[in-house]
Amino acid sequence: MKPIFTLTGNLLWEKKLTFPDWAPGRTQRAAAESFQVGGKGINVARMLAHLGGPVTALGFPGGATGAECIAWLRAKKIPFRAFRTAAPTRIGIVVCAGQRRETTFFSPDQPPAAAALRGCAGFIDARPRRAALAVCGSFPGFDKPAAAPLRAALDRWLARESFLAADTYGPALAWLATRPLDLVKINRQEFDALFPFAARRSSVSARLRRACERWPVRSWIVTDGPRPVWFVEKKSAVPACLAPPRVREVSATGSGDVFLACVLHALLHRRVTLAHAVTFALPLAAAHASRPRVAGLVTNKLLKLRS
């Protein structure tokens, strides 16, 4: 099976605190807490591991929080290649309370150190041609000079016709979209940001056709929460959409990552068409949204139903 690597440019040390209720201006005492390592590429790798097949997550841990992330990934037996950086891994505090909406607080982003980026570039260069790589999540400093070796490694990856996907935004997406990626999967907000404000009045379908004309990306997928998912292949430039199953949403956080993992698994391991990959991924992503955030990824029982 084709080995898949996920690259997380913005690793997350994440603590979830659960309260019966809370109010601003008071001391709050949690009833429960839990910890996990976050970041889009980590979530995608975890789901790919559930689905089966070789997968390794790449990331840039730093400081004491980074060391905790590495220990947690090892304990969970999630294959991970660390490129250590100077700044501590960012912190995320997730607050849940009764009927209140889940709220997350992040510490400031820190770009990976130049040495860590060079190490990652060398690792990517050494991977076999048949491997696949997905650039996932925000990537602080991607457009800065320190990241030039990594950008060059991604260009070399494409030059040897290895599979490259992206689910990112900002400068990283702007740069990657100018390359012949096999797949860009983004949400509606990130897709809108690729176009001038006036052009956003056009339908998603019309703008997907425009994207096929403007950028060399081979396939696009645009998700929009519980609304229909749009997708298109450059070779046909005929957009299509599929509606996800209706579920009672508990927490949508991470559903996009489950969706991307399922699409990659279907494309690379099941060798199906883009439309079939989206069809395979939608029920699993919807199922994830119907579960509490740290209850884990979709259950093995559900995976068996989709196999």
Q: Which of 13, 274, 254 is nearest to 137 (CA)?
A: 254
What backbone phi and psi angles, to 5 degrees, belong to 21?
-170, 170
**Residue 221 in contact with residue 229, Cβ under 8 Å?**
yes
- Per residue in 13-54, pLDDT (tens digit) is 999 999 988 778 888 899 999 999 999 999 999 999 999 889
- Per residue in 182-203, pLDDT (tens digit) is 999 999 999 999 999 888 889 9
State both tokens at 164.
């490259």
**Residue 245 in contact with residue 282, Cβ under 8 Å?**
yes
At residue 289, the pLDDT reads 63
Q: Which of 143, 89, 90, 146 is nearest to 120 (CA)?
A: 146
- Per residue in 269-281, pLDDT (tens digit) is 999 999 999 999 9
Which residue type is seen at 129?
Answer: R
At residue 86, the pLDDT reads 94
Helices (H), the chain: 40-51, 63-75, 114-125, 148-159, 171-176, 188-192, 204-214, 255-268, 274-289, 300-306
Q: Which of 307, 297, 283, 243 is nearest to 48 (CA)?
A: 297
Q: Which of 245, 179, 229, 12 is nearest to 109 (CA)?
A: 12
**17 Cβ partners below 8 Å, 6+ apart?**
30, 32, 33, 93, 94, 95, 96
At residue 98, the pLDDT reads 76
Helix, strand, coil shares of the chain, percent, nearest 5, are 40, 25, 40
pLDDT bin (cut points 50, 70, 90) of residue 204 is very high
Mean pLDDT over 87-114 rounds to 91
Mean pLDDT over 103-116 rounds to 95
At residue 291, the pLDDT reads 63
Cα angle value 43/44/47 (rounded, 5°):
90
- Per residue in 148-180, pLDDT (tens digit) is 999 999 999 999 999 999 999 999 999 999 999
At residue 87, the pLDDT reads 95
Query: Is the confidence at residue 255, as pLDDT, over 50?
Result: yes
pLDDT bin (cut points 50, 70, 90) of residue 249 is low
10 Å Cβ neighbour count for 33?
11
Complete domains list, the chain, with CATH:
4-21+31-306 (3.40.1190.20)
**What is the percentage of the chain residues whose pLDDT exceeds 90?**
76
